[in-house]
Amino acid sequence: MNSGNTDKIKGAAHEAKGKVKEIAGKATGDKALQGRGTAEKLGGKAQEKVGDAKKALGK
């Protein structure tokens, strides 16, 4: 598997984990967990964009 696809898959996984943490934080009133979830979700989206860029460049 090329690195662009790998980044997209890992990014999607981080985004999903972040979404779960964010929802759990909201449900329990845990602002720290919610913040960590939001950060992880955004990091996952960024990693997916890196994967898109790598695929576009053929890497």
Domain ranges for the chain, please list them: 3-57
Q: Which residue has the higher pLDDT, 56 or 17?
A: 17
Cα 8-55-7 angle, rounded to 5 deg: 25
> What's the predicted TM-score (pTM) here?
0.83
**Residue 22 in tokens:** 């964010």
- Residue 59 pLDDT > 70, yes or no? no
* Span 15-35, pLDDT tens digits: 999 999 999 999 999 999 999
